[in-house]
Structure 1
């Protein structure tokens, strides 16, 4: 079955690519394994020089790379450009800091001397999503390549040109063959590949079903895995919040990337005393978003990534309304070509309604009003997901107290859940496990080897 670029703005097929044959995949894995034997032995500086070159190429080619993102998955062009910049920053960050992060750690045992040596483990498989095709790749590939591992990347099937362009960046930077390899294969074949003894670890960002499948294969084959499986992030507005600022950030938090972000502000929870004011202003902002071609810099709301995604989201809204939810704004597909959905606000959500439990991956906000701070915390934690969340208050100590009680991997105070190279990223519960980015992100796929030194006469 061909892998296709389908422009979600028009729903027209742009290009098709054939999947790699089994023989080609086997050769790619063999090449990555062979490259590891050499790559693991070179210095951090040598690896860093390559990563800095890749970062420089990304910035140099930002316009053309951003247009590929917008073409294939519909991201607003300005946001696509920002993604390229962020991805380049991640490559530079690890090129600059990896040696320090991976330095030997001296221990102080009761007897003898000892230290921890951080060593690479081998070939890694990364299964990456379409919503941030360059950023997701960067946060997986950059730290692991700096460790001395080699990586195979199976990208989402609807962004093949992005995946090919990424591999081309490595080639243009003269990175040795086998250090980074793009696999044009299906998700099913990627899961099956986990059993290959030459692959030593796997990382996936994607759906719960995909994560469960990959983790199952990894577990059966006794391999380390890292999973980021999406979220249902809360955006709590306490009664002492700056409402205008909270509204401004809520629009960005919910509508960035047309709402197709794991860390999007999906559940807006307002204390009763400020709920009406917040909701009125939030609805007004969403109702005036300009819908259009994501290549047009004046567009504020573009298409979803695919017609399939738009159909699924519209069905989630319909099932929620049928179960008792109310539509305050939007709720329907937009009558134009492409995978467009209206900016939507759902209210009156209760347990049992699909939107209460499911991740809505698109421009649909779920709004809740609660009586007090504790009710907001209880509602925030009433979710199977635990990726991120945010709290808005002018009392920072109060914000920290609330953040401490939210059961997620990340909480931001007075800002939607975000990402940057020097902050750890990851969740808990059904949002997955493990961390990416920051110093923690380079610590997942390493052998933390204990080396102990003693005199011949020392007892043990």
Structure 2
């Protein structure tokens, strides 16, 4: 894939970039290692000042960078502005909380004495240069949720961003430089995926984090495992959205529309499979389908647009294959199911609701990365949990019920990294984010995320 801005609303290539050569990559690796040697000794207060300044600059830059995001990957401009604002808030959150999150931990005095020590504690120290392989769907947020905690912990970053968002990738490097971070603390590498292995195997790179497809995760994890380097993976998701009889069906249906179509459905944590108890199935489906039909699909630069184009022609083709396969095998498209006829250019796809899903359909097993929802009718709680877990993924989950016993069952039995009741999954810096099964391993955000790229060091003093 060329490193280029291809506007998804038009299909036109607006800007192309030459990938870095081997000598340029080597210079950036050298610069990163030198920067870490200096930066790791800085204090939390100094790091926090730099990160707060980055947040201020991002606030100032939001109108322009939002338009860049819209032109590169098709996100509606109002959503792009919201993404930038969330990034600035997260930078400020880590600037405020990182020192406390990484404070020395002191074991119980009795355990210290029993170990034969006069004193002992645990200290969190930075690992070094962290390679971040990031996707296009949230081109600022995916990077910042790694970079903010990593930089506050004293690490430095190398960003290999998706090849279709090069301008956003270069903006991020420039943002941290303008904020006052030393040259080399955060660098963007405009390289193709073929260059990742050599960079990751370099001894100066200590760890890697990847958000992306299952295939990319397998590849990077295999290389990192061979090199025995710390890895965090956030991969695909096919999150369940369960609606039980005690739910507020109107609220559930309204939220379901947003949960499925935010970012044109191109989100790992978007609800994708809607699992509805038979007692409320008809009412939910009617309201949900009506809400999907009412969405405005169109130019992402238009403030009134709800759903923009998919990020690429290939992405739309992949989605079409899943829907066409399901319909051929007996599924019903209650709404949508094709390209909007009034939008001849660009990579648009209609918000779609499919019912009658059976296990032999690809859409039952594969992630739908676009505004396509599958709806299942279930008879009871047991069947709801069974259908929810009938996936290779386990990123997050949503359950709509006010019954405490049902809520406890969902917490106990849903195979996912998060369980959200009577709302939709959303990431926040205070809460850990990540999944199980083929959705990856490790956690981002919160205290758990900032410690992923730290050397947890036991310090022991003899009597």
TM-score per shorter chain, which class?
over 0.9
Q: What is the Cα deviation at residue 61 of structure 1?
A: 1.1
TM-score between the two structures when normalised by the length of structure 1 = 0.97
1:403–1:413 CA contact under 8 A, matched in 2: no
1:391–1:403 Cα contact (<8 Å) kept: no
CA contact (8 A) 1:4 1:160 kept: yes
Equivalent of 1:299 in 295, 305, 322: 305
Instruction: Report the TM-score when normalising by structure 2.
Output: 0.97
Distance in 2 between the 1:207 and 1:8 partners?
A: 20
The aligned counterpart of 2:329 is 323
Question: Structure 1 stretch 333-342 or stretch 216-225: which is displaced more?
Answer: 333-342
Aligned partner of 2:106 in structure 1 is 106
Structure 1 residue 327: Cα displacement: 1.7
Distance 2:91 2:189 in 1: 21
Q: For 1:156, which of 156, 162, 175 is the aligned residue?
A: 162
The CA distance in 2 between the partners of 1:104 and 1:126, in whole Å, is: 27
Q: Counterparts of 1:445 and 1:164 in 2: how far apart (Å)?
A: 24
Q: State the Cα distance separating 1:385 from its structure 2 match.
A: 0.1
Contact 2:349 2:371 in 1 (8 A): yes
For 1:398, the equivalent position in structure 2 comes to 406
RMSD (Å), alpha carbons: 1.1
Report runs of 4+ in structure 1 exceeding 6 Å deviation. Answer: none
Larger displacement relative to structure 2 (35-44 or 166-175):
166-175
Aligned with residue 201 of structure 1, among 198, 207, 226:
207
1:448 is paired with a residue whose SS is strand
SS in 2 for 1:416: coil
Secondary structure of 2:423's match?
A: coil
Question: What residue in structure 2 maps to residue 458 of structure 1?
Answer: none
Q: CA deviation at 1:192?
A: 3.0
CA contact 2:410–2:419 (8 Å) conserved in 1: no
Count residues in correspondence: 455
5+ residue gaps, structure 2, are: none
Taking the aligned partners of 2:404 and 2:398, their CA distance within structure 1 comes to: 12
Deviations 1:338-359 (A, max 9, x none): 0000111111112121000000
Residue 246 of structure 2 aligns to a residue whose secondary structure is coil
Decide which moves more: 446-455 or 428-437: 446-455
Is 1:219 matched up with 2:232?
no
Superposition map of 1:237-386 within 5 A: 237-335=243-341, 336-386=344-394
Partner of 1:73: 73
Distance 1:305 1:413 in 2: 30
Q: Provide Cα deviations, 1:400-459, integer angstroms capped at 9, x if missing partner.
A: 43232101001100111111111111000000000001111101011111111112xxxx
Structure 1 distance, partners of 2:22, 2:74, is 31
Aligned to 2:140: 134
Q: Does 1:86 align with 2:79?
A: no
Give CA-to-partner distance per residue, 1:326-377, whole Å, 9 cap, x none.
Answer: 2221111223210000111111112121000000000000100000111101
CA distance in 2, matches of 1:28, 1:143: 21
The SS at the match of 2:287 is helix
Tell me the residue number matched to 1:188.
194
Residue 88 of structure 1: how far off its partner (Å): 0.7
